[in-house]
Structure 1
Amino acid sequence: MMPMDAEITKIVDETPSTRTFFFDFSLEHIPGQYVMVWIRGVDEIPMSLSYPNAITVQKIGDATSALFKLGRGDSIGVRGPLGNGFSLKGKSILLIAGGVGAAPLAALAERAKCDGAKVETILGAKSADELLFEKRFMNAGDLLVATDDGSLGHHGLATELVGELDLTKYDAIYSCGPEKMMFRVLNMAEGVGMSSRAQFSLQRYVKCGLGICGTCCIDPSGLRICRDGPIFRGDQLIGTEFGQYMRDASGRRVKL
């Protein structure tokens, strides 16, 4: 699959560290699917779709720093959508989002509302000014907020709010964000027999996006993030590297 040339039509500063880049065509996709974004002369990286025609990006490395230097009228390469996306199940769902992980979950929340589901979201960030898509989640259903510094909502971690809920009342649980956060969510879901009804969006170093190179495989299951994921049920992740370590660009294990 060759990248499609995508002209940047609008850039929105969502938080001090995060921007949404809109491009000049829309993609039919399932929330949770991703695209490979080619920043010419720099790298090609996986990014979740936050809208049918947009990606939401946190500035954290060389590729995203180069992307942040682009403006309206500049172009990027977009290949996709790729991966499996979230599977919407039931009429009462809980979303747990951390940081830029809110991007695919905001799209899921809107899709679930359109399908008639009751949506509850726990949204976490380091501070109030780093909260992402707060209004989108509020428009889709009920919202609880947690900030590390206590500047808005619960002073502490999003998972502390999760721990106060009866998870068994939900038909499905969806989570995207820092892996340590998602690992805690999985442990809580497993503790009440909900691991098979919890879905998680994983991030790994993805090279091809086609399931050929094996760079993004999860130890020891061999599941490929790029093709079998990036969304996995909790019961698929129990006993794997999830929450323990990941591999860097060289294939070396890096402890989380």
Structure 2
Amino acid sequence: MRPKNAEIVEIVPETPTVRTLRFDLAFDAVPGQYLMVWVRGVDEVPMSISYKDGITVQLVGEATRAIFDLEVGDGLGLRGPLGNGFSLLGDSILLVGGGVGAAPLAFLGEAAKERGIEVTTILGVRCCGDLIFRERFRRIGELVITTDDGSLGICGRASAGLSCLNLQEFHQIYLCGPEPMMADVIGRCRGMETKIQASIDRYFKCGMGICGSCSIDPSGIRPCVEGPVIRADELVGTEFGRYKRGPSGRKK
């Protein structure tokens, strides 16, 4: 699949290190799918879709630094949507997001609300200044906020918000964020693994399942094509949440 050129029509600063880019084209995407974003002359990197016409980018390296240097009117090459997205199931769902993992969940939550599904969200961030899309989630349904430093909401990681909810009321739980956070939530929801869908963020080189750099040991699941959304019962017993591989293939 060749990249399509997309012109940036709007840049929205969410936090000092997170920005949303809106484009002059929309994606026929299922929430949870991703794009391979070609930053010309720099690199091609995967990005979750946060709006039908936008992505939300966190400043973490060379490619995202180059994206932050772009202005309205500049272009990026976009390949996708790729992978398998979330499946909306049931009448009442719980979204659990950590950091910028809130971005694809906001897109999912809005799709759920349009279908009349009751949505509850837990957002976990390091501090109140890292929170994104607060009002967007409030328009979707009930919102629980946790912060590592206690500066807003419940003090603790995202999993700390589970204690104030009756998890049996939810027909499905959707996760996106750092792997340790998602593994923690899955571990606290034992017996519910078939009702949990997690969006996996790995090092994607090709986005086509060829290189195997994103594979999960020992199952061999390739999140770039068989994910990035994977049901929790397929992750139990794997290295998920314990380690993953970087550009060289070395465990980290």
**TM-score range relative to shorter protein:** over 0.9
- More displaced 10-residue stretch of structure 1: 180-189 or 99-108: 180-189
Q: Residue 96 of structure 1: CA displacement?
A: 0.4
Give the conservation status (yes or no) of the 8 Å contact 1:163–1:188. Answer: no
Aligned counterparts of 1:32 and 1:183: Cα–Cα separation in 2: 18
Counterpart residue type for residue 134 of structure 2: E
Q: Give the aligned partner of residue 36 of structure 1.
A: 36
Equivalent positions of 1:99-248 (< 5 A) are: 99-190=99-190, 193-248=191-246
Aligned counterparts of 1:163 and 1:154: Cα–Cα separation in 2: 10
Give 3-state SS (helix, strand or coil) of 2:67's partner. helix
Give 3-state SS (helix, strand or coil) of 1:47's partner. strand
Q: Residue by residue, what CA displacement relative to the aligned partner does 1:168-202 show, whole Å, maximum 9, x if unpaired?
A: 22100001011111001111122xx1101001010
Hey, which bits of structure 1, 4+ residues long, moved more than 3 A?
A: none
Runs of 5+ in structure 1 lacking a partner? none
Give 3-state SS (helix, strand or coil) of 2:37's partner. strand
Q: Residue 138 of structure 1: CA displacement?
A: 0.4
Counterpart residue type for residue 211 of structure 1: G
Q: Residue 166 of structure 1: CA displacement?
A: 2.5
Runs of 5+ in structure 2 lacking a partner? none
Give 3-state SS (helix, strand or coil) of 1:37's partner. strand
Aligned counterparts of 1:39 and 1:97: Cα–Cα separation in 2: 27
Instruction: Please provide the CA RMSD for this pair.
Output: 0.8
Q: TM-score, normalised by structure 2?
A: 0.98
Give 3-state SS (helix, strand or coil) of 1:160's partner. helix
Equivalent positions of 1:57-136 (< 5 A) are: 57-136=57-136
Q: How many residues align?
A: 252
Aligned counterparts of 1:70 and 1:39: Cα–Cα separation in 2: 10
Q: Residue by residue, what CA displacement relative to the aligned partner does 1:63-100 show, whole Å, maximum 9, x if unpaired?
A: 10111001111111000000100010000100101100
